[in-house]
Amino acid sequence: MHKQVTRGLIAFAAVASLTLAGCSASAPEEGSSADDPQAPAEITFLTFQSPNLTEQFWEDQVAEIQKTYPNLTVNLEYTPGLDRQDYAKQLLATGTLPDVIWDVPLQDFVSAGALLPYSSEDLAGIDAPEGSGTIDGEHYSLTVGAQVIPLIYYNKDEFDALGIEEPTTFSELKDAAATIAAAGKTPFLIGGGADSWASTIFLDGIITSDVIAADPQWTAARRAGDVSFTDPDFEAAVKKWLDLSTSGYFNSDALSVDYSQLQSKFANGEGVMYPMGSWAGASQVDFNVGVFALPSSSGDYTLGLNYGQALAVSATTKFPAQAKAFAVAMATGQGANLAQLKADSVIPVAKGFEAPTDIPPLISKTFDAYQTDGAAYVEPFGWTQGQNALPSGFTAEFDKGAQQLLSGSTTVKDFLAQMDKTFDDLDQG
């Protein structure tokens, strides 16, 4: 018996030592300092890949920053799909949040104490509106630029062939759609499939233009109970969008093509107008493309600017100085800004950034549309960040309901009443 116990202890020790050997962590490098951005550090950066922002793009960006911070090792991680925010939450919940994260659900992460605030020195090189990335007076999100939600990209060759001028009012936009449809072509391309946001980005633009323009603090007003989704202005905006669908102006496969397929459809000339975020300015197509800002019924322009392409730093990072330095370099570096502009048509907001003259023509036109004369700028509906953010998960519910509208399985009134209920429910946390 004694022999068996002894054997058991020896075996346990052997198994335990093997297990521990597999679990042992490497000791921090000597000489590393949490305060010195130039000190050696190894950080992880969570970002995403898209048709515009490829793995090579990110590797080049990191390599560029490492020229300034040669002791910084950056491990790139990618989200499984375009949805960055839910994946970041999963990592947060499992305690494996990377040091630097691209695009987080700011309100949720700040309330969970998961992010480090940036200092005024970190923000010195950014020229973005005060409220973007700010919660309770602290700035947690460093934007790399603005995206317009949406602009209307169009096949200029088709416009010319049909004798259509760039619309300046919503009524003219509808007339243009009617002319295109009468010629047997698809006026607007919208998407769906695995990217439900592609179903609603056009609707978001109409709501921004017709509702948010009149009250940029609409979400706060909704939270306070001063406005509702069933209000006449909101209902009218949704009806405007749905009317385009019932008139047959959207592609028939709208609900089944994801974003990359949608992008291909536009590039293949399968539709004439393409309401999409300003990142479509980086599209590669074989025809002439024009772009204009979405006009309102009155002809005024209100552009929704999304500053969500932003970098956050984890509160649990072992290298806060290096992680912040990396984020600041990516957001403000001339090289990084230029790369973002060329690859994804992101409009840089770094102070002192000057766009070179050799940028691709469509990106240049996107810039012009962004600077449309007399345009006002607000945060776009459905893409708000920080204190103006919609409740967690609300946007996905809105997209789902809007898809039901497109498929005819609900009515505008029922959809909006449901949105009011959903907002109240989700706003409770």
* CB closer to other proteins out of 15 and 183: 15
Report phi then psi at 345, rounded to 5: 55, 30
- Determine, following the binding rule CB under 8 A, whether residue 109 of this chain makes contact with other proteins: yes
> What is the closest distance, in whole angstroms, from the C-beta atom of residue 276 to other proteins in the complex?
18
CB 330 within 8 A of CB 336: yes
Q: Contact with other proteins (CB under 8 A): which of 17, 247, 407, 411?
A: 407
Q: Answer yes or no whether residue 400 interacts with other proteins by CB under 8 A.
A: yes
**258 belongs to the binding site for other proteins (CB under 8 A):** yes
Q: Does 246 help bind other proteins (rule: CB under 8 A)?
A: no
Structure tokens at 265: 């459809």
Q: Which of 151, 178, 152, 168 is nearest to 298 (CA)?
A: 168
Are the C-beta atoms of 369 and 290 separated by less than 8 Å?
A: no
> Cis bond leading into 320, ω under 30°?
no
Give 202-263 as a DSSP string: HHHHHHIIIIITT-TTHHHHHHTTS--TTSHHHHHHHHHHHHHHHTT-B-TTTTT--HHHHH
Applying CB under 8 A, does 101 fall inside the site for other proteins?
A: no
Q: Does 93 bind other proteins (CB under 8 A)?
A: yes
For 310-364, give the DSSP string.
Answer: EEEEBTT-S-HHHHHHHHHHHHH-HHHHHHHHHHH--B--BTT----TTS-HHHH
404 lies in the binding site for other proteins (CB under 8 A): yes
**Residue 4 contacts other proteins per CB under 8 A:** yes
17 interacts with other proteins by CB under 8 A: no
244, HSE (Cβ side, Cα atoms, 13 Å): 30
Q: Is 261 in the site for other proteins (CB under 8 A)?
A: yes
Q: Which of 65, 180, 257, 329 binds other proteins (CB under 8 A)?
A: 257
> Which of residues 17, 19, 33, 284 is near other proteins by CB under 8 A?
19
Among positions 142, 401, 416, 423, the unique one binding other proteins when judged by CB under 8 A:
401
Q: Is 293 in the site for other proteins (CB under 8 A)?
A: no
- Judging by DSSP bridges, how do beta strands 72-78 and 41-47 pair with one another? parallel
For the record, the structure tokens of 41 come out as 């550090």
Q: Does 409 bind other proteins (CB under 8 A)?
A: yes
User: Which of 222/265 has CB closer to other proteins?
Assistant: 265
Among 86, 215, 231, 427, binds other proteins (CB under 8 A): 86
Binding stretches for other proteins (CB under 8 A): 4-5, 7-8, 10-12, 14-16, 19, 86, 89-90, 92-93, 108-109, 111-112, 114, 192-196, 199, 252-258, 261, 270, 392-393, 396, 400-401, 403-404, 406-407, 409-410, 426, 429
